[in-house]
Every structure is written in structure tokens, then in C-alpha cells.
Structure 1
Amino acid sequence: MLTTANPVRHFHKHLANQALVLVIKDLPFDAHPPPPSPPPWTNDAVTEVLRSISRYAFQSPRSMGRQSGFRHRTPLRQRNLTLEHHKLRNSTLVLGPAAHRDPYKAHLGPQKALEFFRWVEARFNFAHSEPTCREMARVLARAAQVKPLWDFLKRCGHVTTATVTCLIKLLGEEGLADQALLTFYRMKQFRCRPDTHSYNALIHALCRVGNFAKARFFLQQMELPGFRCPPDTFTYTILISSYCRHGMLTGCRKATRRRVYEAGRLFRLMLFKGLVPDVVTYNALIDGCCKTWRVERALELFDDMKKRGVVPNRVTYGSFIRYYSAVNEVDKGVEMLRDMQKLGHGVAGSSCYTPIIHALCEAGRVVEAWEFLVELVDGGSVPREYTYRLVCDALCAAGEGGLLEEDDGLHKRIKDGMWNRYRQVMKVKPVMARKGYPEMEESVMG
């Protein structure tokens, strides 16, 4: 007999599923006859219902079946809500975060969430608290309904600094940096005082859309003598990582070096103020130096982080591996990989092995590339289809095709892993997957 580990959590999930059925069918919440004993609505139960409505209304198809790993995506841009509304009304192509949402669900979700929020309060005399009001505000913020959001916060009596900070962070993630800035300025209207976390969330939102001038303005404000919200390690880490990341997106070499130099200046200022950088700060700066061909500076930072007791991880070593593979010094990249494995600073995955395999194939060392590919698969990772096909073609061209016939189980594991990943991402039905497996095998094997 199966027993749930947390019966209360299971009951809240059951209530959320019942409410979600009424949301999907667009029915009033009093559509079904009332049960003999009304459900005990608690803060956790109401919060779970609002979260389920948010997941249904704003779930993007890109987040279904996505791989757990770092994926390079186009940076966010400041969204123009008026232009998006005009394009949706005229059935024009919409780009950005709103491109992968169902307009009907995005309109229905906040409407039903507000209806449920008022229905629980009126029907069961439920007294809303700060968590439930925060979750309701998050639903309106994700729907980009700024005016209803501010009207709701004015009527709500449970607005705190943590709630406004959460909204600033969410608006920044949605590409609404201007609305996040306006929400920050309205904190006084909500009788809230910003803290360091509020400034950090706002600076991060501005950096995500590339508004570094405004982000530096708030940093300079925090650095004023006697300011009650001084910057911390996370504040400088946000700016350093943003400068290094956005510096790679411009085609101007001068602008790239200027942004990486600004990141280095902030790092030195951070040390001057007595703040201790963490592994994320070092990783961002090392990656920026490696991508601008300043590996000597990156190695200095690598030695400095070990002297300060900061343990490097897989991201740190991956920056050096990609650099050495790009400049045809693959032996140093292999040395970095072995050091990481020997010191236990991370588990090597596809992001570490793939640059080495490609560099070995370009150098004509195809047998070593095949050995690293076997080591990658034995470690539990699945190579990309392009990497697998590149190694197979290189072995056949070099007259080493016999290695491909020695272990058929390895090929089957690779093909099965590729197909499972393809089916998970593309959401292929199992019946169609079984019928299309031979065609997929031919495309993988080339």
C-alpha cells in the first residue's frame, strides 16, 4: 500500500487540481455543489492554487523537456507592452518572452486568479496574508498587467519590502526593466523601505536588458558614505558577470575589451572595500578573460582564488578547456580536465569533453578523440549528434574504422541516449517514436 510522505502537501495538491479544472473550463468556482464540509483553506493551500494557475497560464513550451545545462540564449531586451498588444491584436509575429505563450491562457490566468482570490475571501471568510498577496501579485506581474498590479498593491494591506523585491526580480526576468524601476520608485507609496536585496534585484533587472548606465547610477548611490544599503558581494558579482557576458555580444573589439576592463575594475574595487569574492565572481571574470584571449590574467585569477580558499568548480575549468581547445593547445586542456578529476572539483560532462574532442579531430588525433568519447559515455553523459558523427567520420577517413565495430553496445547506448533526448525535447509520442526509430538511427549514423 502506497503512503504519501506529506499528507498535508498532498491535500493541497488535490485542492489545486480541483481549482485548476474550473480554470481550464472557465467555470465559476461555485459551479460544483458545495461539499458537506468546506475545505480548510490555509495560506499554503491558497498559495498552491495560485501557483498552479500561474504554471498553467504562463508555461512556455520551451521549458517542457528542456535539458539541465547551460544554454546560450539571446539576451533579453526591454519589452514594449503597447507594441506587443498591437501585434497580438493584428496577428503579427511577436518575439521575446511573450512569443511562446498562448494569448488565451495568458489572458484567462490572471482573470481566474483574481476571481479565486476574491472568492476564497468572500465565501469562506478567509483572511489573506503576506504570502497569498505576494503570490497573487506574482501572477499579475508575469502577465505583464502593470496597472492592475499597482491597483492590487494599493488595495492590499500586506505589502512588504520582500514582496516588492520579489516583484522587481520577476519583472526583470520578464524583460520589463522599466516597470521594475517604476516599482522600485513606488516603494515609498507602499510604505516600504528598500534594502540591499531590493537594489540588487533592480541592478540585475537593468543589467539583463543592457542598461548599464542606470545600473552604475544605483551602484554609485549605494557606495555613498553612510548610505544605509551598502553594496555587498552579490552586487558586484551581478555587474561583473553582466559586463563579461554582454561584452561578448558586441562585434566591436574595443567595446568588448572596455566592458571586460570595467569588470576587472569593479573586481579590484570589491577587494579594496574588503569584500570576499565567491566562486561565481571568479568564474565570470575568468570566462571573460579567456574569451578575450587574456589567459595570463585568467591564470592569475585562478591562482588567487585558490589562495583565498575559494574552491573552483566545473565552470572554472570549462573556461580554460574551451580556451586551450580554441587555440590548438589541447594538451593543456586535457591537463586541466585531469586536474579537475584528480582534485575532485567537479564531474566532467559534455561541456568539458566536447571542446577537447573537436580539437583532437581537427589536429588529426582521431584515436584519442574516440577514447575521450568513450570516456564521456562511460561517465553517464550523452554526446551531441554532431560530435558523434564528427568522430565517426574522422575515424573512417583516417582508416581507423575498425574501432567503430569493436563495441556495438557503446553505439547502441549513444543512439538510445540521443533518441531519448530528442523525444524528450520534441515531445514525440511513444508510438510515433517506435515507428520512427529506424529513420532516427539513420540520421544519427549518417
Structure 2
Amino acid sequence: MEKNGQRPKGRYGPHPYALDFIRTKVNSGRPNICNIGNQVVAAIIQNRPFDTAPSPHHHQRIWTSETVIQVLRSIPLHLFQSSRSIGRQNTFRHRSPLKQRNLKQETLKYQTGSLILGSAAHRDPTRVNLGLEKALEFYYWVETHFDFQHNEQTCKEMALVLVKGNRMNLFWDFLKNMSRGGDKRSNLVTTVTMTCLIKALGDEGLVNEALSAFYRMKQFRCKPDVFAYNTAIYALCRVGFFKKAKFLFGQMDLPGFRCPPDVFTYTILISSYCRYAMETGSRKAIRRRVWEANHLFRLMLFKGFVPDVVTYNCLINGCCKTNRIGRASELFDEMTKRECVPNRVTYDSFIRYYSAVNEVDRAIEMLKMMREKGHGVPSSSSYTPIIHSLCEVGRVEEAVDLVVELFEGGSIPREYTYEVVCNALEREGKMDLLDENLCRHIESGIENRIRQVKKVKPTMRREMS
């Protein structure tokens, strides 16, 4: 609404006249699609109303599927995420284990001022609600005023916005509306769309909701395929719901079932059993999960599937972490017989195990084997365990040689690894083994790495300053 002939100010600052820009471009007959999308995003962020209705012969020239998708993808980026969110950081960072979220409990915590952890931490609910309202308003406004025909892609992007906003009631209502179709549109909810939404729900920690979406696919006239089953099983395994995952797997494994499991189904279960085995505090539970992984691997071979390098790597890594080096060696030999070429991840699992049990010579042999056979390029993750073990047993000269070899290979050792080597040399009075020019280059590389990390991690920037 306008008061005294003035435009209302938005909730988050002054407004560029986005809608006036659209009117100008429409009337001039030269619409700039990219700029229109950016201006509409600015209007959405600043809570401007959509009140533009151009002439009919310019409809198709203004809005395309790409422009609508661009606007919808920009809303979660600018309104749902805080500056501390991992989604705003262009870096590799270890995530904490994913857990099933309780949206009702998170709402109560926000109302009482309690601390909220997980992906909803540091969110502004006011901005989230604004983004959801404006996204739905924009979606239907484009269809009503511009006679734009939504397709499967735009429907999927709108549903993803609702998923990232964690508003499940709006999400289900939107899917029901889009699946009904109508005079102007057909059913926009397809199996591919539902599979993408199941994956998005799993990434948000809403695994029970993802499983509900999987079971409600038939309600939206979609038939689940093997990709939908694999996505649902992976979402369940990520939060440790192995019983539910095995139940879905058992449905797929029934005789004559229309979606039999494939290599990826077995790989998902095997990798999940091995990955989350070490998170349990019980040795019995760890052994049980590794046994389940090996049982699935043998069942996979019995059914005639050919495991790939990812399947072998997951099982070898799980066996090495649970000290079953004999079984890991059998799998490594089996890879060679089946002509499945190992890669750097395969060798790194053995290197970490041998370095942890003080069999450094065996670890060095695996490193040399990887380099001689051309099965991968050793990186910092390959050299670091060996360098630490050599420093612990007093073989500092060999550790220095590996540091030089790592640097000549184009990698910079980690800061802690470099400090361990320097401290070991200082204890033994052999600091002259490290060349000053080499030290200068390594320290410069470490400083550059820290400088890059500080750009994307505000908390670290405050601690270092």
C-alpha cells in the first residue's frame, strides 16, 4: 500500500524500483532477462509487492523457465542461510554426523530462546517466512499475470524452496495442488521430481519426512524406480536408521519385484555399515555392522553383480578401521584378480592402518607401490600418517625426505605435520637437514592456506586477529 503518494519502505532497507524497471523494459520492447531476474530477487528480499501486469504480446519474452528457476534458487541463498551457514562457505569442511530433526521441538526452542543446533542454527525465522511467502507469491504471480506455463523444472525448484524452508505443511499442499493438474497444466509432479525432493529432505535431516514422501509417491501418481529406492535408503542410512533401510532393501530383493537392487544399492548399504560402525560405542555393534557389510558384499557377488572400486574401497576402509587387515588384504588381492584397478583411496586405507600400528615400513611399501603401478598420485593424506609415525619412532631423516618429496609433488604439508617434523629435528639437533629455501616456501604455502580459510570462516578470522 502507498501512503501520501510515497512508496512503502521495505523491511530490510531502501528499495530499488524493481517493478518500474520491469515496466520500462516491457514498454520499450527490449526486456533484459538476466537483469529482470536480479531486480525481482532484490524486490523479493526487500518485500516489494508484485503488481505488474504487462501487455499480452510481451509475456513469453520476459519470463522463461531459466529466469524463474534463477529467481527461485536465489531465495534460499539470500533469506534462509546465515553468514555462519556452511552453505555460504566455499571450502571443504567436515560436517558433523547428520541426525533426524524434530521441527516442533526446534520451534519451541526458538520461542523460549533456547539454543538451536544443526542446520537451523543462526537462522532468522522472520526472513525464512518472508522468503517462503514471496516465493509462493512469485510462483503463482508469474503464472497468473504473464500466462507463464510452469513445467517440471520450475515445480521442482519451488518445492525445493519449501523443503529448505522446512515448512512441511506448505510443501505437501503444494505437491497436491501441482499433482492435480488442470485446464492449463498437466501433472507436474514426476518420479524424477520426487526423487530430488527425497534427497533434499535427507540432506536437511528430515529423514522421516523423506520416507513419507517416498511412500506418498503413488498418491501423486508417481511410480518409484530404483533411483528413488536408492535415494531413500541412502537418506535412512545417513542418520543410522538401518532397520528401515534394510526393510526397503528387502522389498527390492523380493522375487519378481519391478525395482530389483543394483550395484549402487549394495554400495550404499556397504559404505554406510562401514562408515557408521565406528560411531557406535560398543565393540560388539562395530563387529556386527562390519559383518553385515561383508555379508552384503558376498550376497552381491552371489547375485552376479560386479563390484566397482567404490564398493571395494568402502569395505577395505571398514576392515582396516576395525583391525581386520587380513580380510582387507584378501579384498585387495581380489580387486587385482577381477581387474578392478585400485586408486589412491584404496592405498590410503592401508597406509593409515600400518602407520597406526607402527608398521611404517609396510606403509612406505604401499606408498611406493601406488606410485610405481600408477594407481594414483600420492597427496598430503597419503604422506601425513607416515611422516607422523617416522617422527614418533625417531626416523627423522626419512620423515624429512618424505616432506621434500611431498613438496616436489606439488602439495603443501599441513601446518601440524610441518611443526611435528620441525620439533623432531630440533630435539635431535638436526635442523640443518631442512633447506631454508624449502622452509620458506612451505611456510608461505601454509600462510596462504590459512588466509584463504579465514576468508570463508568468520569465526576463525576473529580468533586469528
User: TM-score, length-normalised on structure 2?
Assistant: 0.84
Distance 1:426 1:31 in 2: 43
What does residue 5 of structure 1 align with?
none
What does residue 40 of structure 1 align with?
62
Match of 1:23 among 28, 31, 44: 44
The one-letter code matched in structure 2 to 1:146 is M
Distance 2:409 2:111 in 1: 51
Three-state SS of the structure 1 residue aligned to 2:121 is helix
Three-state SS of the structure 2 residue aligned to 1:393 is helix
C-alpha contact (below 8 Å) 1:240/1:267 kept by paired residues: yes
C-alpha contact (below 8 Å) 1:240/1:263 kept by paired residues: yes
The alignment status of 1:162 with 2:187, answered yes or no, reads: no
The alignment status of 1:413 with 2:435, answered yes or no, reads: no
The alignment status of 1:261 with 2:291, answered yes or no, reads: yes
User: Is there any run of 5+ residues in structure 1 with no aligned partner, and where?
Assistant: 1-10, 441-446
Match of 2:357 among 327, 332, 337: 327
Q: Which stretch shows the higher mean deviation, 345-354 or 176-185?
A: 345-354
Deviation, structure 1 residue 295: 0.9
C-alpha contact (below 8 Å) 1:325/1:333 kept by paired residues: yes
C-alpha contact (below 8 Å) 2:53/2:146 kept by paired residues: no
C-alpha contact (below 8 Å) 2:54/2:146 kept by paired residues: no
Cα RMSD after superposing both structures: 2.5
The one-letter code matched in structure 1 to 2:101 is R
Match of 2:254 among 224, 230, 233: 224
C-alpha contact (below 8 Å) 1:56/1:105 kept by paired residues: no
Deviation, structure 1 residue 176: 0.7
Match of 1:425 among 440, 445, 453: 453
Give CA deviations for 1:41-94 in whole Å, capped at 9, x if unaligned: 1112211221122322344633444544xx544311110000111112222111
Give CA deviations for 1:341-370 in whole Å, capped at 9, x if unaligned: 222222221111111111111111112112
Distance 2:291 2:192 in 1: 34
Change (3 A) 1:16 1:325: farther
Match of 2:71 among 37, 49, 71: 49
Match of 1:251 among 276, 281, 286: 281
Deviation, structure 1 residue 387: 1.1
Deviation, structure 1 residue 412: 3.0
Match of 1:344 among 349, 369, 374: 374
The alignment status of 1:124 with 2:146, answered yes or no, reads: yes
Change (3 A) 1:103 1:427: farther
The one-letter code matched in structure 1 to 2:117 is L
Matched-pair identity in %:
59
Deviation, structure 1 residue 428: 7.5
What does residue 4 of structure 1 align with?
none
Deviation, structure 1 residue 280: 1.1
Q: Which stretch shows the higher mean deviation, 160-169 or 374-383?
A: 374-383
Three-state SS of the structure 2 residue aligned to 1:427 is helix
Matched residue pairs, number?
Answer: 420
The alignment status of 1:238 with 2:271, answered yes or no, reads: no
C-alpha contact (below 8 Å) 2:91/2:456 kept by paired residues: no
Match of 1:383 among 413, 417, 422: 413
Give CA deviations for 1:237-274 in whole Å, capped at 9, x if unaligned: 11111100110111211110110000000000011111
C-alpha contact (below 8 Å) 2:33/2:62 kept by paired residues: no
Distance 1:353 1:416 in 2: 20
Deviation, structure 1 residue 411: 2.6
C-alpha contact (below 8 Å) 1:289/1:295 kept by paired residues: yes
Change (3 A) 1:15 1:360: farther
Deviation, structure 1 residue 106: 3.0
Change (3 A) 1:339 1:108: farther
Q: Which stretch shows the higher mean deviation, 24-33 or 351-360?
A: 24-33
The one-letter code matched in structure 1 to 2:239 is V
Match of 1:111 among 110, 126, 133: 133
Three-state SS of the structure 1 residue aligned to 2:48 is coil
Which entry has the higher C-alpha Rg, 1 or 2? Answer: 2
